[in-house]
Structure 1
Amino acid sequence: MTIKKALTLVLIALPIKGISKDFYIDPSGDDRANGLSSARSSNNGPFKTLARAQKAVRDLKASGDINEPVIIHIQSGIYRLEKSLDFDVRDAGRAGQNITWQGENGPALISGGISLQKCNSDGKTWSCSTKNQKLGQIKYPQNYRQRGNNPGFELFIDNSPMHPARWPNSDWAHIRQPLDERTQFTSIETLPTLSKDSSQAQIHIMAGNDWHDQYLGVKSIEPDLNKISLSSNTNYKIESGRRFYLLNIKSLLDAPGEWFYDNNSEIIYFIPPTSAQPNEITVSTVNNIFNINGANNIYFKNLSLGYSTDTAIKLNNSNNISFDNLEISNVAGKAVEAKDSSFISVINSHIHHTGWGGITFSGGNRNTLERANNIAHNNHIHDFGRVVMTYTPAIETSGVGSSITHNLIEQSPGTGILLFGNEHLVEKNEIHHVCEQASDCGAIYSGRDWTFRGNIIRNNSIHDLFGYGLVSVDIANNFVKYARPDGVRGVYLDDSVSGFNVIGNIFRNAGVMAIQLGGGRDNIIENNIISTSDYAIWVDSRPAGDELKKRLFQVPIQSPVWLDKYPKLALPIINNNLPEGNSIRRNVMLSNKPGNILIRYQMPESTNILERNLLWSSSGSFVLNYDISDRTKKRNGATWQEWVNEGIEHGSIYGDPCLSITGNQANFCDKTLLDKIGFEVLPSDIGLISK
């Protein structure tokens, strides 16, 4: 199904103004009123709370007196929740008769936070009593990325998230020497002298690489030995030079933007982010804003959601749920997480300052290849991954048949889009300045499965990716160096992932590799524009591994539907470790650094297609590295002419395409060379669409 058809189905289901049942909510309303009017009279007028309006809808449905759509008109203001608003089958609409929750007449904020009032200042540090607020009962989520004793809530000053008191105050400290594999190490930087009570101390650590961070409890800190012991194992083995910082220790509270919660005294201490007196001091207390389980045909529009201690909106086993023009921010988890659900749409929305990521979809049936038809369309997603930084993307989809279109994704420490499963469409998005704190990271990433087929990455603009990673470490001299650019890819087809179409994208300064094909099979890389000072395309071979082979038989690749859709997948795989069946053609590749290694090919000739590409260097010349396994041809630093003389690449041209890239548009002043390779013009509507 195309994105146009899927959106059409959503629009058909929307209520029609003038023939609906209407309820009204206003912060100054009264839950004893009937909720049937925005105007107040003796027994008429708006409800005060969302929970009361929900009850009214449920009562209406239970009476059987409902044959039309229902609209709940939510007037401008702040609606504070005492607990998550849960939706189930009692709240569901029917096809053509949606239940709509709609903000009107200005911003309508649904908040999972409370405002603190009992606060004082000594001129630098503020303190707020939270007696009787039961904040200590809000538990920190324990999972494979987050363990320890951090408070289960967050603090916000004038809508800005604060950071638990930390050392160092900015940037990272670094591991000097591991003392065992996963729990003890010394620090390159001199550890601070701390107060006796560090029982709530945590560490944020990238223990063994530059692409996996986690939070752990701290067992002990020994400044005299410059040693840290952790209360549980790191997920990866500890390595010298890797990054960490300490947090959630009261004696570390010394910088603007930091806070600490004293569980014994029930007092929050903080230093405001600016010298101005805070106007609003907010603590998140509600786990989720909306929980939607087993419900259908509900529509949310023109709402702001914030201040949840976990994901703002959670859906499970639900269908035909639409979120249109929402702002979701200042949440500790994701913005929207939909599990085992279909026809979920998140459109025209603004998502920012989330702890984990943006939108996560799972749905459809990989055994039957039935599509979920979930949609993320025309959303601006930025400043996500502010708590857990890596592999907490703006948009993640798994299962079958989701569409990710016309989104703007920017400003994040980690990945932009993650793809798992089949038949997903990633089209006309703009992605830039992601992977800002990571190496071995992709703006768009998928990997480790031969069966992830039918995915299309088409007509996207990916630019200005720099990354950050370990360059060198000298333990003897207590020296460590990190730098950028390092290890970022525009499209990262990792660990033999196969059957992807990467077509018509614009890559401009898109990391150290614009496109990496890591040993995969049957991928199509065509009609892309790549302007870079590093690798345009990198193809390598790599061992398949037992896990990859096991996953091959976790879906019915010999069933009629799979054989019809992916006939190549059922053929015997003779060379497990080689990239085969790939097509690289009609791409325009421009090098803008003298002597740049523009391409690396490590692949057999007989089972791959290399043809009709256009290459040029705007600053002298470029070279290629290649290892053609079935010809025993191997060369590093080959010139273009030496590569052409091998006779492996056919019909390709070295010539000036006269290319300029402005915004998300690529312009050619002379299309003669483009015509020779059959290059197709790219669309002009990449990126966000005006609402």
Structure 2
Amino acid sequence: MLNRNGSTIALIFFSLTATAQDIYVSPTGSDKLNGLSPRINFWTKTGPFKTLARAQQSIRQIKAAGKFNQPITVHIGKGTYQLQAPLEFDDKDSGLPGQEVTWEGENGGSIISGGIALNNCQSYSSTSPNRILNCQLNASIASNISAEDNERISGNAPVFALFVDDIKMNLARWPDSDWAHIKLPLNAQTHFSVFEKMPKFTGDLSNAQVHIYPNSDYYDQYLGVEKVDTVNNEIILASQTKAAMTSGRRFYLQNFQSALNMPAEWFYDQSNARIQFIPPAGSPAKQVLISSLPNLMKLNSAKYINYRNLTFKYTNGNAITIDDSGNILLDNLEVRHARDKSILATESTDITISNSHLHDSGIGGILLEGGNRPNLQASGNTMVNNHIHDFDNVLLSYSPAIELSGVGGSVSYNLIENGAGSGINIIGNDHLVEKNEISDICKQSSDCGAIYSGRDWTFRGNIIRYNYVHDYTGYMLDTNTLNVAKNILQYKNDGARGIYLDDGVSGFTVFGNILVNAGMLSIQLGGGRDTLIENNVIKTDKRAIWVDDRGPTYNWSVNRESLASMPIKSILWAKKYPKLSAPMNKDIWPEDNIIRRNVIISTASNGYAIRYLLPKKSNIISNNIVWNAKTNIVLDYNILDSNIRGGSQWSNWAGLGFETNSLNTDPCINLMGSKINITCDSSPLSKIGFNNLPTDIGLIQ
């Protein structure tokens, strides 16, 4: 858990009054007691309840009796509360303003679990060199295990996960590490030859599953396998890939017994209802359990409830789901080992997720959606001071650490790191993303970004400011060197972005961010309009700012349809976003953008740092500082309304007059993490009107 200075963010908390009613729960308690004391006295039947469900029943009884006239706090004692079904909260469990209901654990010690322990696991074979252990699974338990469906996951692999000493195990697979690759598609979406030579797998392969990137480095899925042909080195899938397969793309096979040969691997023998596994290296395998529930906690039409100091773990879906709820506080939680998301909140308002540690989830960290876009009614949803990492361990793409959707949400002071794909996705209007630190992401993806939005002209009023984005590259197939006939196949660390405004998304403010080695493009404006890129500091050996016009291949009908779907000419929208309803010169051009007062420090050996593909009319580029200590700054450009294009050194570009009042000079700054130190008495920052940046970026400790 995080150490925190509570006074820093005290405004998001409520205060318990002296007259609050207290209810106690403990794993050593009894549901036959009254729940009014943390200590047991069987003579008076006073003491804590044993289950959370009994405490919930007690609150409902208080409300039904008309005695709910003060805040209620449920004190959840240390220990593990193994659920038989998800905890479900609704209006009957709600509090009132000033009379909140609080469920409060003991920091780090109150665990809500969807795991089922497996006991009496025996050695599968005394002669096994891999120390395979065998656990019999009760057939009735197996039949009751459920999970949330996902259209990107199919096949006969188990829907539950196995954990040994709190380490998530990997389904037995080939190759043991890294990926295999498609050599040639023999059918567009179901049949392909394999680049690497497959071994002669033994045993039943009918439940094998493939995890595959069929066509790109930014979309993966799981599919069942119809046939593995090791003689011809081919695989036939049980269903179609989303897109036509192409040579060189990645996959691996999993969930078959003969691949069980490595520490931390497992296999579920469905026909015999048994689990086989090799413990992680160094693990004594004292605790073996499986995830059994689709969710751990569900809120529907609930209000004014607070959850604090709790740990949620082991679920086959989203750990916490919230729908049509409001004024919910999730504070100082640890959520781990969710197959889907840690927290999913939809159509909800005034949800606060704070001071929490969310990690080891499978399909994203947090999705928080609320507010009304046609009416521009703000959600008030807030995510502040959370540490989110290892958030996309099942689906490696389109599973961001945070997805903020709707209207008027905020994401601040979060640390996001160690992800296969993107960090933060923005959908909707008037969101604020500020003072977050994002690094070490896009580890298995290209065309992804630390902060991403795309494909909608009406996503207006969003502010991205004062974020520290640094040190990641992306991962992608090198199509330039791919030669199947010569058995040449290479992947490279490339393809990620920093702040990625994709496919015409418009009306953003990108202000005061620090981007250091943030992928191949630090800030990309992909054909968008009415966007302000100002006062950012960028240090990179790749491209600092990249503005493009998307070209003729992009399907602009997506943007045009979204434009027609929103009331952009209503009084409310026209007043708030006047440029949105104004006539466009050419809707496929990036128009009315401002790029000014940015500091670009290029460390590229060739000096290539910038691309501008945009019209001169309506766009403003001015008052920037560009610098490369070893060579000249180089950029390429295409001025769309003048048909002037080329690539040249900075001095030639400046002479064309499209950019004004900018300087090619040493900015005299030293970047120390998210801190900027001035290194000379006469820094040119003041000449361009650069504003100082805050120093409180990242987690609040």
For this structure pair, what is the TM-score category when the shorter chain's length is used for normalisation? over 0.9
Counterpart-to-counterpart distance in 1, 2:445 and 2:598? 28
Q: Which amino acid aligns with 2:645?
A: K
Is residue 643 from structure 1 mapped to residue 650 from structure 2 by the alignment?
Answer: no
Equivalent position SS for 1:517 = strand
Q: Report the equivalent of 1:425.
A: 432
Contact kept, 8 Å, 2:87 with 2:296, in 1: the verdict is: yes
**Cα offset for 1:194?**
2.2
**CA displacement, residues 407-445 of structure 1 (integer Å, 9 cap, x when unaligned):** 000001000000110011000000000001111111111
1:195-594 correspondence runs (5 A):
195-471=202-478, 472-484=481-493, 486-542=494-550, 543=552, 545-594=556-605
Counterpart-to-counterpart distance in 2, 1:344 and 1:173? 43
Contact kept, 8 Å, 1:430 with 1:462, in 2: the verdict is: yes
**Cα offset for 1:8?**
7.0
Pick from 113, 122, 129 the counterpart of residue 111 of structure 1.
Answer: 113
Q: Report the equivalent of 2:3.
A: none
**CA displacement, residues 106-130 of structure 1 (integer Å, 9 cap, x when unaligned):** 5111001011112012461011111
Q: Which amino acid aligns with 1:128?
A: C
Counterpart-to-counterpart distance in 1, 2:316 and 2:248? 33
**Structure 1 pair 506–433 and aligned structure 2 pair: CA distance change class (3 A):** same
Q: Which amino acid aligns with 2:674?
A: N
Q: Which amino acid aligns with 2:651?
A: Q
**CA displacement, residues 308-336 of structure 1 (integer Å, 9 cap, x when unaligned):** 11100001100001100000001111010
Contact kept, 8 Å, 2:147 with 2:317, in 1: the verdict is: no
Q: Which amino acid aligns with 1:668?
A: I
Pick from 54, 57, 60 the counterpart of residue 56 of structure 2.
Answer: 54
Q: Which amino acid aligns with 1:611?
A: S
Is residue 672 from structure 1 mapped to residue 683 from structure 2 by the alignment?
Answer: yes
Give the number of aligned pairs. 682
Q: Report the equivalent of 2:35.
A: 35
Q: Which amino acid aligns with 1:32?
A: K
Q: Which runs of 4+ in 1 moved over 6 A?
A: 6-9
Compare 96-105 and 283-292 and name the one that shifted more. Answer: 96-105
RMSD: 1.5
Equivalent position SS for 1:82 = coil
Contact kept, 8 Å, 1:506 with 1:666, in 2: the verdict is: no
Contact kept, 8 Å, 1:439 with 1:468, in 2: the verdict is: yes
Q: Report the equivalent of 1:661.
A: 671
Compare 267-276 and 139-148 and name the one that shifted more. Answer: 139-148
Counterpart-to-counterpart distance in 1, 2:616 and 2:229? 58
Equivalent position SS for 1:34 = coil
Compare 208-217 and 658-667 and name the one that shifted more. Answer: 658-667
Contact kept, 8 Å, 1:182 with 1:236, in 2: the verdict is: yes
**Cα offset for 1:68?**
0.3
Equivalent position SS for 2:580 = helix
Is residue 170 from structure 1 mapped to residue 181 from structure 2 by the alignment?
Answer: no
Equivalent position SS for 1:563 = helix
**Cα offset for 1:17?**
4.4
Q: Report the equivalent of 1:66.
A: 68
Equivalent position SS for 2:687 = helix
Equivalent position SS for 2:272 = coil
- Percent identity reads 46
Counterpart-to-counterpart distance in 2, 1:629 and 1:89? 57
Is residue 23 from structure 1 mapped to residue 29 from structure 2 by the alignment?
Answer: no
1:149-168 correspondence runs (5 A):
149-168=156-175
Q: Which amino acid aligns with 1:394?
A: A
Equivalent position SS for 1:55 = helix
Q: Report the equivalent of 2:81.
A: 79
Contact kept, 8 Å, 2:146 with 2:293, in 1: the verdict is: no
Equivalent position SS for 1:354 = coil
Contact kept, 8 Å, 2:22 with 2:73, in 1: the verdict is: yes
Counterpart-to-counterpart distance in 2, 1:189 and 1:586? 51
Pick from 605, 609, 632 the counterpart of residue 598 of structure 1.
Answer: 609
**Cα offset for 1:660?**
1.3
Counterpart-to-counterpart distance in 2, 1:597 and 1:521? 24
Q: Which amino acid aligns with 1:570?
A: S
Counterpart-to-counterpart distance in 1, 2:592 and 2:242? 36
Q: Which amino acid aligns with 2:67?
A: D
Equivalent position SS for 1:179 = strand
Contact kept, 8 Å, 1:74 with 1:103, in 2: the verdict is: yes
Counterpart-to-counterpart distance in 1, 2:237 and 2:15? 55
Counterpart-to-counterpart distance in 1, 2:107 and 2:559? 54
**CA displacement, residues 590-618 of structure 1 (integer Å, 9 cap, x when unaligned):** 01122221100000011100000011102
Equivalent position SS for 1:333 = coil
**Structure 1 pair 319–390 and aligned structure 2 pair: CA distance change class (3 A):** same
**Cα offset for 1:132?**
4.4
Q: Which amino acid aligns with 1:648?
A: F
Counterpart-to-counterpart distance in 2, 1:17 and 1:261? 52
Q: Which amino acid aligns with 1:66?
A: F
Equivalent position SS for 2:568 = coil
